[in-house]
Every structure is written in structure tokens, then in C-alpha cells.
Amino acid sequence: MKAVKSLACAAVLALVGGAALAEIDILPVTFICQNDAPLQIAYFNGSDGSSAAAMMVDNQLVTLRQVESGSGIRYESSGGEGTYFLRSKGWDATVSYLAAGEDAASEQIILDSCVSR
């Protein structure tokens, strides 16, 4: 688990512009989703207001950057074969995936009804 956190930190530092580690607050949160599926997320909040997150989904480490949202918080991955989305409001979260290219018919919900208290 420590190796995953180190890898996540390195990946997220690249997303938030390489700010010094001392200037980043790291908040680990565990959500319990539909069918009791756990979702562990590490949020990285820079002193400059930037924010990123990292999570394990589909047996891979996914790094996400915060993007504009009308309500709540929204993060999305970049690069790869498609885009992962993390949306949360209050204590609730949802993870979805949009395939790239011809497979991009519609966004598919991967983890739903995720709650952290």
C-alpha cells in the first residue's frame, strides 16, 4: 500500500504542477459503494488552490485533475484509452468511464451510490 501511495503522490505532483510536497495537503477517503465495493481515493490539495486525486479502479491507479463543475466536485483523468470521471457532492460519489474513439458511445457508470461518513 505504501508503494501505491508513493506512486500516486508522484503522479499527482505532475498533475498539480510539481508544487513542493510540503505545500500539498493529502486527504485519504474511503467510500463504500453499491454492493459494498470499497473505493479508496487520495485527494491532493495544493496551497495555490489546485487539486488532484488518485484512485484504484479496474485494477489500475488512475490520477485525476479537478475540473470545473456546476455543483459539487468533478475530477477527470487525462490520456490513456479513455477518460475516468469522479464526481462527488457532500459525502456521496460516483465513478464513470468514457471510452475513447469509436467505443465512446456513452459514459458508463463503474461505481455508483458511493458513500463516505
Encode pLDDT of 61-89 as tens digits: 999 999 998 888 999 998 777 899 999 99
Q: Please, which pLDDT band fits residue 105 given cuts at 50, 70 and 90? A: confident
**Run of H or E including 112:** strand 108-115
Which domains are present in the chain? Answer: 2-115 (2.40.128.200)
pLDDT tens by residue, 14-58: 555 554 455 889 999 999 999 999 999 999 999 988 899 999 998
Residue 21: phi and psi, rounded to 5, are -55, -35
Residues 6+ apart with CB under 8 A from 50: 16, 17, 19, 66
Provide the whole-model pTM: 0.77
Contact of 116 with 91, CB cutoff 8 Å: yes
